[in-house]
Amino acid sequence: MKEYCGVVGIFGHKDAARLAYLALYALQHRGEESAGIVSFDRKKVYTHKGMGLVGNVFSEEGLKKLKGPMAIGHVRYSTTGSSTTKNIQPLLINHKKGFIAVAHNGNLTNSVELQNELEDSGSILQTSMDSELIIHLLVRDQKNNYREKMIPILSRLEGAYAFVFMINDTIYAVRDPYGFRPLSIAKAEDAYVVASETCAFDMIRAKYVRDVEPGEVVMINKDGLTSLGHIPGKRHAFCIFEYIYFARPDSNIFTKSVYLTRKNLGRALAREHPVGADIVMPIPDSGTYAALGYAEESKIPLEMAFVRNHYIGRTFIQPSQFIRDFKVRVKLNPVRDALKDKRIVIIEDSIVRGTTSRSRVRALKEAGAREIHMRVSCPPLISPCFYGIDFPTKKELIASSHKIEEIRQFIGLDSLEYLSIEGMLNSMLLPKEEFCTACFSGDYPTRICKPPSKKALEKSRCMGIK
């Protein structure tokens, strides 16, 4: 399971690209595959992009070349389109009325239809990303100015999007009407900042102002910040998985604390599924905060009995055959003295295929744990996500085809329990009607276009459905 994307926009700061860089650094967890920044000094557009982590893509020299008081940036893990340099965002195009740069977080669910329509009417698409479609739609409408055409054109998109556009001397920040993906606004002195998560604001000492509302189109230019109105929508569907796994615990998303929500999930889990154990231990990092809540509620001591290696990066050296579970062991190593002869309850944030959990449990047994129980701080994942999270296909999600008892046996646990959908929703700090829970329930809040065949997907440039 991979993260998807993080976006940022800066308006009105002499060092806009540097601020964007630092904000992207804070958003690195949302996409490790590539990073890019586009800046504008009111005369010329500058761009720098590359494959890899933010710290590797940008050098001091590179940042100095990104001039101007406006910048937008993006970190990416590909949710649509292949992993190539031409798909690195922000996407930038020049045309007779100036330029458009766009950074997109999310996944359009009608991109195949839009792509067909655009190609049938003569558009030539340059990338394999659904994000490019919106640029074509905006440029094709020559009659209206951007202020007028934003809402009618964005209304044609279906699915999940948090966009930051830089169009000539204006930045636009937009969320889809369901509000699947987070996007917040802050001020750093006189400059405006928009970013996927508020942890980016802390990095640059920007003060949170408010969220871009679901469906809202916000315009930021020399006259300040103006709300252009809302794209009509039926309901909200904030991605609940942001709270469970993706967002950083030091962020507030959809206006509420990820940290507090994760602790609530752990508390609810302890109430629903108590177990006699000597220690509670998290799978770091994402299970840590739910484990804190579980330990507090159950009064069982918390131990950090898995130690994470923070320096793994990518290894190209194949481990020897006799080192089983290499990928798991290189990342998390159990502490024998904390585990020997103990009854432990592990707190996991989610189980996708079950194979990683199985390797971890094997490592804990080898370290001497007497009993191993697992509690999962969300319900079983049974359906793929069409809104920008790269879940495996339904077939690969172990809970879509196996009962909990079968998963317990596969992983090698003494007991396994998941938090209920009700327990998860009641742990949120917002009303439960506000959330998308489709990957747990199969109940999608939007129309899902018929998925193309595998062959068509391979050929298709715009993989609207994965």
- The contact pattern for ligand SF4, residues 205-244, with x = CB under 6 A and - = no contact, is ----------------------------------xxx---
Binding footprint of ligand SF4, residue count (CB under 6 A): 11
**Window contacting ligand SF4 (CB under 6 A); options: 207-215, 308-316, 332-340, 435-443:** 435-443
C-beta atoms surrounding 44 within 10 Å:
10
Write the DSSP assignment of 20-83 as a string of letters. Answer: HHHHHHHTGGG--SEEEEEEE-SS-EEEEEEES-HHHH--HHHHHHS-SSEEEEEEE--SSS-S
Q: Is residue 254 part of the contact set for ligand SF4 (CB under 6 A)?
A: no
Using left for φ > 0, alpha for ψ between -120 and 50, and beta otherwise, residue 354 falls in left
DSSP helix, strand, coil percent of the chain (3-state; round to 5): 30, 25, 40
Minimum Å distance from CB 290 to ligand SF4? 17
Q: Is 199 in the site for ligand SF4 (CB under 6 A)?
A: no
Report if residue 465 touches ligand SF4, rule: CB under 6 A. no
161 binds ligand SF4 per the rule CB under 6 A: no
CA dihedral for 439, 109, 210, 184, sign (positive or negative): positive
Q: Is 258 an interacting residue with respect to ligand SF4 (CB under 6 A)?
A: no
User: For 460, left (φ over 0), alpha (ψ -120 to 50), or beta?
Assistant: beta
**Measured from the CB atom, is 4 or 21 closer to ligand SF4?**
4
Give long-range contacts, CB 8 A cutoff, 24+ apart: 250-255.
Answer: 250/199, 250/202, 251/197, 251/198, 251/199, 252/184, 252/198, 252/208, 253/182, 253/184, 253/197, 253/198, 254/179, 254/182, 254/211, 254/430, 254/434, 255/211, 255/430
In whole angstroms, what separates CA 91 from the centre of its chain? 19
Going 198 to 21 to 464 to 246, the CA torsion angle's sign is negative
Q: How far is the CB of 445 from ligand SF4 (least distance, A)?
A: 8
Q: Is 439 an interacting residue with respect to ligand SF4 (CB under 6 A)? A: yes
Q: Cβ closer to ligand SF4: 164 or 439? A: 439
Instruction: Give the footprint of ligand SF4 on residues 382-411 (CB under 6 A).
Output: 385, 387, 389
The residue nearest ligand SF4 at its CB is: 385
Choose, by CB under 6 A, the member of 438, 462, 463, 465 that binds ligand SF4.
438
For ligand SF4, what does the binding mask look like between residues 177 and 196, x meaning CB under 6 A?
---x----------------
DSSP SS3 for 338: helix
Nearer to ligand SF4, 256 or 365 (CB): 256
Query: Could you list the active site residues?
Result: 5
Looking at beta carbons only, is 17 or 247 nearer to ligand SF4?
A: 247
Residue 4 binding ligand SF4, by CB under 6 A: no
- Closer Cβ to ligand SF4, 220 or 438, answer by number: 438
- Footprint of ligand SF4 on this chain (CB under 6 A)? 180, 239-241, 385, 387, 389, 436-439
